[in-house]
Copies of this chain bind each other. A is one copy, B any other.
Amino acid sequence: MHQHTRTDPYTDRYAARAAGMVPSEIRALFAVASRPEVVSLAGGMPNITALPLDVVGDMLGELTRRRGTEALQYASAQGDPELRARICEVMALEGVHGSPDDVIVTVGSQQALDMITRIFIDPGDVVLAEAPSYVGALGTFAMYQADVVHVPLDEDGLIPAALRETLERLRKEGRRVKFLYTVPNFQNPAGVTLSETRRAEILAICAAHQVLVVEDNPYGLLGFDREPMRALRADDPDNVIYLGSFSKTFAPGFRVGWALAPHAIRAKLVLAAESAILCHSSFTQFAVREYLATQPWQQQIKSFRVMYAERRDAMLESLEALMPDGCTWTRPGGGFFVWLTLPEGLDSKAMAPRAIAERVAYVPGTGFYADGQGRRHMRLSYCYPEPDRIREGVRRLAGVIERELQMRDTFGTARARERGGVDTPGPETC
């Protein structure tokens, strides 16, 4: 047991769902990892230095002076209608034709995940998720006592045959599968993208099994080499809930995301959101709406793409040049993340403190599975550090892995210590 839990005088009063809510040991590591001497390849924070802060500052000042009585007042629980209309324009870039009335504005995609899980999941219901999957989503599913069943992916994303087999097995077992959670583009953490042919297959399989698809798409517009792909939602509006976010295409500091859902589900989501937060901030909604209305946002996204592509290149080139034999990794076409697999016998979780001692941080793979897998994997992010820092970080990491390999060859397979807590490392890394 974690020390904190032992001394909690309220322990016997919490709800059942709160029993597993203890801070993970990884959190303590990340507090250290945020020191400036550490190169963090752990963070999922977008790099917003490319934003013209003067222009945004003028825009927000003017917005307050001109529309303050609205922008500083309560909003509706569904979100600002004009922002919802703009959101539909953004989604049109991926072939989605939704009505503003089917959109709900949320406190980032995270709140959308929370609301979806809240309205669909009874304890023990099954949620399907890629193996690996987004740590923040897994945390929410755990909070509602869902049973997460992982479905493997490869470099073309989620594997349709594996999805079909899993669904058939679960059906035989009489389990209630509520939805498939997927990040189809530049997946967090694996960096892979679901291929076009697989998209149609996944949709057909889920429709046949009456399993909703939750399409989480924060990185869809951040592809480096091609135009945005057609969203899953574009081809099955009745069976897909689409989640979007301005955190990576504008700025995370406003916490403006959204869900586009079939109408009846959207109605439930609004009622759930009202109970959870009453309404989102008017001001931040007005800020994003004003940004979309008055600023060259598509041009800004192009600048982001160029910046992130340069960092992706720095990371892939360094990995190629420096990583010991036996390491493999994905080659993302966009987004923020590379997924690295260690040689057999190495353990990313056990290695993390030693990496931080060598002034490089990553997220151990275990955080991205609900079932304890992931010890041979790690997530490396290239979104935040400068290219030179990325190269230095990879150099340090390669050194750590080299030494682990020597240890393995001398003393045998590494064994991680087991301790309490869930491996969710906090907002800074998501």
Partner of A283, one of B8, B107, B254, B279: B254
Asked if A272 and B125 make an inter-chain contact with CB atoms under 8 angstroms apart, the answer reads: no
Q: Does A53 contact B (CB under 8 A)?
A: yes
Which of A73-81, A97-105, A396-404 lies at the interface with chain B? A73-81
How distant is the Cα of A57 from the Cα of B71 in the complex, in angstroms?
11
Which of A13-21, A84-92, A320-328 lies at the interface with chain B? A13-21
How distant is the Cα of A283 from the Cα of B256 in the complex, in angstroms?
11
Chain B: minimal CB distance from A381 (Å) = 13
Indicate whether A268 sits within 8 Å of B21 (C-beta atoms), given known contacts A278-B430, A284-B281, A427-B274.
yes
Asked if A253 and B53 make an inter-chain contact with CB atoms under 8 angstroms apart, the answer reads: no
Asked if A275 and B10 make an inter-chain contact with CB atoms under 8 angstroms apart, the answer reads: no
Asked if A276 and B111 make an inter-chain contact with CB atoms under 8 angstroms apart, the answer reads: yes
Interface residues as binary, A258-298 with B (CB distance below 8 Å gives 1, 0 otherwise): 00001011011001101111111111100100000000000
Instruction: Give residues 176-224 of A contacting B (CB, 8 Å).
Output: 178, 210, 212
Partner of A119, one of B14, B62, B144, B251: B14
Indicate whether A120 sits within 8 Å of B253 (C-beta atoms), given known contacts A68-B57, A108-B277.
no
17 more A-B contacts (CB under 8 A) besides A57-B60, A110-B276, A114-B277? Answer: A4-B264, A9-B264, A13-B120, A18-B272, A21-B119, A21-B272, A48-B69, A57-B65, A60-B64, A77-B426, A110-B275, A110-B278, A114-B276, A252-B282, A254-B281, A255-B277, A274-B426
- Chain B residue numbers with a CB within 8 Å of A251 are 72-73
Partner of A23, one of B71, B212, B267, B428: B267
Asked if A53 and B68 make an inter-chain contact with CB atoms under 8 angstroms apart, the answer reads: yes
Shortest beta-carbon contacts, A-B, top 9: A61-B61, A57-B64, A72-B253, A53-B68, A8-B264, A72-B251, A57-B65, A110-B278, A253-B282
Chain B: minimal CB distance from A101 (Å) = 13
Chain B: minimal CB distance from A5 (Å) = 8
Please name the residue on chain B nearest to A247 by beta carbon.
Answer: B74
How distant is the Cα of A426 from the Cα of B78 in the complex, in angstroms?
10
Chain A: residues with Cβ within 8 Å of the partner, total of 90
- Chain B residue numbers with a CB within 8 Å of A69 are 48-49, 53
Which of A135-143, A157-165, A355-363 lies at the interface with chain B? A135-143
- Chain B residue numbers with a CB within 8 Å of A276 are 110-111, 114, 140, 143, 276
- Chain B residue numbers with a CB within 8 Å of A58 are 61
- Chain B residue numbers with a CB within 8 Å of A45 are 73-74
Indicate whether A427 sits within 8 Å of B284 (C-beta atoms), given known contacts A4-B267, A14-B119.
no
Q: Does A331 contact B (CB under 8 A)?
A: no
Indicate whether A264 sits within 8 Å of B7 (C-beta atoms), given known contacts A65-B57, A107-B280, A284-B281.
yes
How distant is the Cα of A249 from the Cα of B69 in the complex, in angstroms?
15
13 pairs of residues in contact across A and B, judged by CB atoms under 8 Å: A10-B265, A15-B120, A18-B118, A21-B268, A60-B60, A60-B61, A74-B247, A107-B278, A108-B278, A136-B275, A140-B275, A143-B272, A274-B426
Asked if A287 and B278 make an inter-chain contact with CB atoms under 8 angstroms apart, the answer reads: no
How distant is the Cα of A65 from the Cα of B68 in the complex, in angstroms?
19
- Chain B residue numbers with a CB within 8 Å of A13 are 120, 178, 210, 212
Asked if B57 and A424 make an inter-chain contact with CB atoms under 8 angstroms apart, the answer reads: no
- Chain B residue numbers with a CB within 8 Å of A268 are 14, 18, 21
Q: Does A151 contact B (CB under 8 A)?
A: no
How distant is the Cα of A122 from the Cα of B16 in the complex, in angstroms?
7
Q: Does A121 contact B (CB under 8 A)?
A: yes
- Chain B residue numbers with a CB within 8 Å of A279 are 255, 427
Please name the residue on chain B nearest to A179 by beta carbon.
Answer: B13
Chain B: minimal CB distance from A416 (Å) = 23
How distant is the Cα of A65 from the Cα of B49 in the complex, in angstroms?
12
